[in-house]
């Protein structure tokens, strides 16, 4: 099972772009990379998922280098409401999955 490593916390200001990097050196060939956002006392919310290169949706971008040993979640122009814990997970999608969460990155957006 791929273990992930993320920074414990990050600070940013409203309107800035935030990049959170996750290391997953032991990622397997059939593993996808998924990012979740979690607010206190709520369940994690899916943000974005990718396998390689770059994926973009309406809320974030995910950059994955060719060796796939790391990934970077990019949040454009953050607001106070983006203050949350962000988790990076890796796991296969073509079998029964048991995603393992790390401790996540606590993003604190300041006014």
Partner 1 sequence: DAGVTQSPTHLIKTRGQQVTLRCSPKSGHDTVSWYQQALGQGPQFIFQYYEEEERQRGNFPDRFSGHQFPNYSSELNVNALLLGDSALYLCASSPALGDRASFNYGYTFGSGTRLTVV
Contact 8, 103 (CB under 8 A): yes
Check residue 30 for interaction with partner 1 (CB under 8 A). no
Q: Does residue number 94 form part of the binding site for partner 1 (CB under 8 A)?
A: yes
Give backbone dihedrals phi and psi of 82, rounded to 5 degrees, phi first: -85, -5
Assess 99 for contact with partner 1 (CB under 8 A).
yes
Nearest to 88 by CA among 29, 8, 14, 17: 8
The one segment of 7-15, 17-25, 75-83, 102-110 that binds partner 1 by CB under 8 A: 102-110
CA distance 18 to 74: 6
Sole binder of partner 1 in the list 18, 36, 71, 82 (CB under 8 A): 36
Residues of the shown chain interacting with partner 1 in the complex, contacts defined by CB under 8 A: 34, 36, 41-46, 49, 87, 93-94, 96-104
């Amino acid at each position: 099972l791929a273990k992930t490593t993320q920074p414990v916390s990050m600070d940013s200001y409203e309107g800035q772009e935030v990049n959170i990097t996750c290391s997953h050196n032991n990622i397997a060939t059939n593993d996808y990379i998924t990012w979740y956002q979690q607010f206190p006392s709520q369940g994690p919310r899916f943000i974005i998922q990718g396998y390689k290169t770059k994926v973009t949706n309406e809320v974030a971008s995910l950059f994955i280098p060719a060796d796939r040993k790391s990934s970077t979640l990019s949040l454009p122009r953050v607001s106070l409401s983006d203050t949350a814990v962000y988790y990076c997970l890796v796991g296969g999608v073509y079998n029964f999955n048991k995603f393992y969460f790390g401790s996540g990155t606590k993003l604190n957006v300041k006014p």
